[in-house]
Structure 1
């Protein structure tokens, strides 16, 4: 087989890139080691910046998002029993869209299938070859047979543990990482959200987040030690704990119910540099991870897709490589700003036992300052809605 671009990974970044390329007449094949149902079974967050919303519209996959997604003009911070709203729309003129990542993925998959672009699922041992030459190719195994796809470029959209970043180890790759000493215990339930916007809570017992997927489905989180196990937390224990970390009026209004899904996610900040190795490009989680506090994971993947798509479009339309040559530096400039914001939100809202009472007081002073400073609120709002591409 031959194609112009092989995309490794059929998560939202790979699917979005594939659809944008297909719309531009650039042939591509997506490979994934698992099947469609497995991918759609993964529960992920879904706060979309305006840039991500625009890209989904450009891909032709935004119709259901606009019908079912929830436009949020702000969010709230809770601390010391107080609530402070950050007016995203008023401070920046921009809102965010709450729409689950699983639904984004489903829309992209359905549109790709409807438009006839090729996706190969259950592709074992996917391996990129000769990406530092003019003739890269990718091999994979299926039903005991090894297949080869020759191509011009390879896009590694295969996540943090994928083969693409592993393939460039020892080739000048440099990594930066911070691992946080706690995780998020998340619970998904078919109950109405406690509030029409997200609430981020700083509390002496630890961080909490009240978020949502729809008017009838809610996603809640609490900070827990990494030593905790999901099986240690009954639904009743979770509901009791999150209510302790919220203002009284919010806690009393919370509707509880049985969990659909419950899991603990560790938090880390991670960046790989550079993001280009010859004709192989790292995209999304293959190149960076952010803690979910700033709602930047999926959005950073979307901005990577934007930069790479524009470079590939320019190359195939004009035979110019300037956009591809600039991909890594452009993407990393935005990535590091989002990493900084996600780190700062994480440091502000979570309790770090090693910082003691002094650290808690500094957090409370920062939150108090934020509540009285429009300049500080504007800076937070600008970063939350997403910096321009």
Structure 2
């Protein structure tokens, strides 16, 4: 990680508490196919700070210079049609590197702003129809953050989730058809007091975590002191955390490289599906996400095989937001998931609840 930066962001390893949120974010970075994270909780609990810190933690990515879609020089699935055309024509590509993009979607954004639109200025001045990329293009290979996602128009949420699931954005405008890569980690946050997402939309998020205000006085003082120290001297504060940042960054990169080698036993996969059946979870997303999240957790901890404990730690965050059938119901806290897990995996229901915590420790 470069020691010189254009901006200073609060270090990820300095974020106190919110272990469930931090690990869920890391698992989605290790395997973006998990499908993103929905973070629900109180205001002022460090959601936005943690997400910006995550983007700053990650290593720089290699991109094709001048390409508006952050195209990867080597992976065709992460290349725009223009880049692929240049490669098929035998042209050489100039490359560059940049920080992992972190894109904020404002609540007032339009579909054109999100997906892209026609460049009217170029159409009028040059008489050509050109496409102006939107926020999905900027978010390719990065993080797309939607604060107060429960207040966003449902049709925009649909567009976001479709792109996040497929990895592509297709736009049909004024006779122009454009398809470009849009593979990003979708992160939504919101306050339950301001309304819930429809169950159909909530189900599309891979994982759901809850954050709450720290109540212990000592921890609150520690959080305040950390923030004050960072605001007073960001350079000094960040340099003190640099070794931990580098260590965690290397751990994430190693996990990304290890992920394909991680296996999960057939019996464990059957039990995961049995839990989903016991809970009457609609569709198969719950099964898929639990499998992927447990593999990502094993990779993060340096192992090549998923254990029952890995599943115990991820299954609540992977399933609890899929249990709500009625829009007026609240998201389950995870108790029902834990009871079903204990039944299928033959554990005592009075097992230590910490066994089921998606906790992260640096």
Into which bin does the TM-score normalised by the smaller protein fall?
Answer: under 0.3
Q: Would you tell me which structure has more helix in proportion to its own residues?
A: 2
Q: Would you tell me which structure has more strand in proportion to its own residues?
A: 1
TM-score by structure 1 length?
0.23
TM-score by structure 2 length?
0.25
